[in-house]
Amino acid sequence: MRIGLFDSGIGGLTVLHQALKFLPQEDYLFYADTAHVPYGEKTKEEVREYILNAVDFIAKHNIKALVIACNTATSIVIEELRSRYDFPILGIEPAVKPAIEQSEGKQKKVLVLATRLTLQEKKYHDLVHRIDHGEIVDSLPLPGLVQFAESFEFDEKKIIPYLHQELSQFNLQQYGTVVLGCTHFPYFENSLKKVFPAHVDFISGSIGTARHLKRILELKGQVNQSGTGDIIFFKSGVIVEDTCTLGNYHRLFKLLDEL
Report, as residue numbers or ranges, the catalytic residues. 70, 182
CB atoms within 10 A of CB 24: 11
Q: How far is it, in rounded angstroms, from Cα 203 to Cα 178?
A: 6
Query: Cβ distance 193 to 202 under 8 Å?
Result: yes
Per the omega criterion (within 30 degrees of 0), is the bond before 143 cis? Answer: no
How far is the C-alpha of 72 from the C-alpha of 69, rounded, in Å?
A: 9
Question: Could you tell me which residues come within 8 angstroms of residue 94 by beta carbon, excluding any fewer than 6 positions away?
Answer: 71, 112, 114, 118, 124, 127, 179, 181, 205
User: Among positive and negative, which fits the CA dihedral 77, 41, 39, 95?
Assistant: negative
Dist CA 37 CA 216 (whole Å): 29
CB 32 within 8 A of CB 9: yes
Residue 118, SS3 per DSSP: helix
